[in-house]
Chain A
């Protein structure tokens, strides 16, 4: 007996395929796409054959399937994570720049709070080890500033943190 595959069934299948895909980001792009297509095709076939609910149940859940796929592709040994590395790589500049900008703004406000019509040049050494000095120029209380770039140490920590977060050393070939 063939089961009709309704729009809702298609959506349920797509949901599983999408969820699976999200958990396979550590695989190469072409491999991920191939697995997505294969799982979708097999699920549609199974859905027509035994019904969508049973087909999805027999797949064993997206998390388990993703884990099996990752193990099949990358082996059982401890694995790296591109996703974790990407999170760290993008989150650190966003957060650090936000806090450094807030600190620079606070220093600027402190000067105008002390003298609303300040005129002249002020230098703040910035946050130790993290950034270069910031030079503020005031003209009748109107502020402007330059500097505050990341120090080399921040770049080293950023790259080191990305490698540590993504366990990227595991990509190195084993002897």
Chain B
């Protein structure tokens, strides 16, 4: 399990991750965090996830409903709107293009020169 991520890098893709998780299944805030942790993002703070959900809701990519909870206050469940699905598709394509581009550079063979200077 990965225990550490670059916060800046993660912030850029957090929206896409949240949308993907919520596209799989409607969830409430704390459950989303737990699912993120299970996926390997163990160091993601709740304080980062809840505002990100609020932002996606404000942008019209998530819809919410309150569901009574047997163990406490009503939970606010998030699900994707059609805009959310559209954004998720676009974000996934963009991420794949980034990964391909970054991998294309990072996986180039290095020259044998110990100084690393290209010949």
Does A41 contact B46, Cβ atoms closer than 8 Å? Answer: no
Identify which of A35, A60, A71, A72 contacts B46 (C-beta below 8 A). Answer: A60
Is A102 engaged at the interface, CB distance under 8 Å to the other chain?
no
A-B contact count (CB 8 A): 75
Identify which of A46, A48, A61, A73 contacts B58 (C-beta below 8 A). Answer: A73
Does B47 contact A41, Cβ atoms closer than 8 Å? Answer: no
- Interface positions of A from 31 to 87, Cβ below 8 Å from B: 34-35, 37-42, 44-46, 48-49, 55, 58-61, 64-65, 68-69, 71-73
Does B55 contact A40, Cβ atoms closer than 8 Å? Answer: no
Give B74 Cβ to nearest chain A Cβ, in Å: 7
Does A72 contact B74, Cβ atoms closer than 8 Å? Answer: no
**In this complex, which of A34, A46, A61, A68 has the most chain B Cβ atoms within 10 angstroms of its Cβ?**
A68
Given known pairs A37-B73, A40-B73, A45-B71, the reply for A69 and B46 (CB within 8 Å) is no
Identify which of A34, A40, A49, A65 contacts B51 (C-beta below 8 A). Answer: A65
- Proximity bits, B17-56, A CB within 8 Å = 1, else 0: 0000000000011100110000000000111101110110
Identify which of B46, B51, B54, B55 contacts A42 (C-beta below 8 A). Answer: B46
Does B76 contact A72, Cβ atoms closer than 8 Å? Answer: no
Does A41 contact B76, Cβ atoms closer than 8 Å? Answer: yes
Given known pairs A38-B76, A40-B73, A58-B45, the reply for A45 and B51 (CB within 8 Å) is no
Does B47 contact A59, Cβ atoms closer than 8 Å? Answer: yes
Does A65 contact B50, Cβ atoms closer than 8 Å? Answer: yes
Q: Which B residues have a C-beta under 8 Å from some C-beta of A?
A: 28-30, 33-34, 45-48, 50-52, 54-55, 58, 69, 71-76
Residue pairs across A and B with Cβ atoms less than 8 A apart, 22 shown, are: A34-B76, A37-B73, A39-B50, A41-B74, A41-B76, A42-B28, A42-B30, A42-B46, A44-B72, A44-B73, A45-B69, A46-B46, A55-B46, A58-B45, A58-B46, A60-B48, A64-B47, A69-B51, A71-B51, A72-B54, A72-B58, A73-B55
